[in-house]
Amino acid sequence: MSSLYSKIRFEAMPIVGILRGFSLKETLTLASISEQTGLKNIEITMNTAGAEEQIKACLDSYGEDLNIGAGTVCDCAALDMALEAGAQFIVTPNVNEEVIRICVEGQIPIFAGAFTPTEIHLAYRAGATMVKIFPAEVLGPAYIKAVLGPFDQIPLMPTGGVSPENMQAWKDAGAKAFGVGGKLYNTKLVKEGDWAAITALARQFVAAARSLSD
């Protein structure tokens, strides 16, 4: 097990796969598919039953190959549990300056969720490694491009609405990374145990990311 986040691994495949509400067995299978297909970063949301156990189990099995983080970290209580479980990076849906501060002091990468220009600037000024634009599908790539007019120094990760088909559009707008949940780890397919279909989706996302042009 590795407890260290790899920036090189993240930059090589800047997609964060979001696992929410799955069983331990399902999560481990999805982590395996991620590793096999070339995805490098997964987050297990803290509002998943047994999230801490899942983070630990994924670290034990895939900590040398994947960056394994905790998502939906809304407050310091959730942060404490995530870090105790060994999360290598933290993702939030909101701007919580105390959560960001603790991560910065502990040198834990944090992708803080924000939506408005004020929130985006606040998260970055507080020390966020990257700012997660959520929910990104509401305004689309044009919003990313507009925000980066005054905030061109802030790395943005749209989350919500990203697909293999539109990833280049997000990239062209200025996105540095991509958060992907249901379009990758489709709940219906997981519950049906259709791992071949999930594997095919993962390969599509990896291929799209590798084909991105500047």
Q: Enumerate the active-site residues.
A: 43, 132
DSSP 3-state of 71: strand
What is the maximum span of the chain, computed from C-alpha positions, in angstroms?
46
Alpha-carbon torsion angle 203, 48, 62, 186, nearest 10: -10
Residue 137 DSSP one-character state: G
Contact 205, 213 (CB under 8 A): no
CA distances from 6 to 12, 142, 143, 187, 192 (A): 10, 30, 29, 28, 33
